[in-house]
Homo-oligomer: A and B are copies of this chain.
Amino acid sequence: MASSRNPEIRKDRVLNRSVIFSPARARRPSDFKSKAPANPNPNNSSKECPFCIGHEHECAPEIFRLPKDTSDWKVRVIENLYPALKRDSKIIENEENPKNDSNGVVTGFGFHDVVIESPIHSIHLSDLSPSEIGDVLIAYKQRIQQLHLHPSIQYVQVFKNHGASAGASMSHSHSQIMGLPIVPPTVSSRTSSMKEYFHETGKCGLCQVRSQELLIDESTHFFSIVPFAASFAFEIWIVPRDHSLHFHELDNEKTVDLGRLLKLMLLKLSRQLNDPPFNFMIHTSPKDMEASQFPYMHWFLQIVPQLSGVGGFEIGTGCYINPVFPEDAASVLREVNVV
């Protein structure tokens, strides 16, 4: 039985992280009450929600909508009203030493957008049809392409928070896109790790990551697995079958195919774990790449349910403790029937 297995420390060759697998930890009692609310995304009144159709004037400016030029939109990409970075290029032009001073300070220039995934307050991403989810993915793609035109942008991070325990402050279904003036730490570390793997084996780590034991499902262009060294219980990766550098290389057919697999994975998590809070992140490649990196960089989408918080051990060591072995999580998720 899995629960009597010995703990193991596994290293992920893609994200370069170490994870302790420890089934015994699942049995800890708690004298605090449950942290996640029963319904992580309560359908609070749409009257007060700026993301709802008809409330567009309460939002920060729109960047574009899909379909174009219609009041009956399906997806809107808007500026974030409380942006972490400033899109005003003046803040870099006006400084003597704009990019990087000797203290390691970079001016906080960048873009921070919100993608409203549906006009209706009570619709979650997984309620949409595969081609409607495909439209959300097309919005990501178009926005990434726009952001790449700016010379100071080096990396674009797309992510979604669902539920308060996953960090969401708004309950209306949405995701976020940030255009960054740096290549962030996880991306540098993933690049080195993938490079090292390539030099050792002559292969791309993501092309090799698929195994029968870890596989959950597959579609024409993608497969989904629980990664070998998942940091979070029931973490899922959706990976393009063909070696592909950047998320925004997706064509329209593939966005629908990915929409279908993403919907299926979200429904399986929701069914198995009772609509848990979750995050997803698109791990793509930096805007500027050297040809020598092409053979080993490969984008993927990571979904992490937030079932328990982290504590001082994870903050201190950077090493996560996961009570569920990936083979067991994959086997459970393969079986979940979502009709």
| Residues of A bordering B, CB below 8 Å | 6-13, 16-18, 20-22, 24-25, 27-33, 35, 37, 42, 44, 48-49, 82-86, 91, 103-108, 155, 157, 159-161, 164-171, 175-176, 178, 180-182, 184-187, 189, 228-229, 279-283, 302, 304, 308-313, 315-319, 321
Contacts and interface: CB of A to CB of B under 8 A. Distances in A.
B85 A22 contact: yes
A32 B168 CA distance: 8
Given A20-B84, A157-B317, A9 B185 contact: no
A171 B6 contact: no
A14 B184 CA distance: 17
A268 B182 CA distance: 35
Given A31-B169, A317-B180, A84 B157 contact: no
Contacts of A31: 44, 48-49, 169-171
A241 B124 CA distance: 53
A226 B6 CA distance: 40
Given A161-B312, A184-B319, A321-B84, A104 B13 contact: yes
For the complex of A and B, the 3 pairs showing the least CB-CB separation, nearest first, are: A7-B108, A167-B311, A159-B312
Contacts of A186: 316-319
17 contacts: A6-B107, A18-B182, A22-B84, A29-B169, A30-B169, A32-B169, A33-B164, A35-B35, A84-B321, A155-B317, A164-B309, A166-B312, A168-B311, A185-B317, A185-B318, A185-B319, A187-B317
B157 A316 contact: yes
A203 to B, nearest CB: 14
Given A8-B105, A18-B184, A31-B44, A312 B167 contact: yes
Contacts of A7: 84-86, 107-108
Given A184-B319, A317-B186, A317-B187, A167 B309 contact: yes
Contacts of A279: 311-312, 315-316
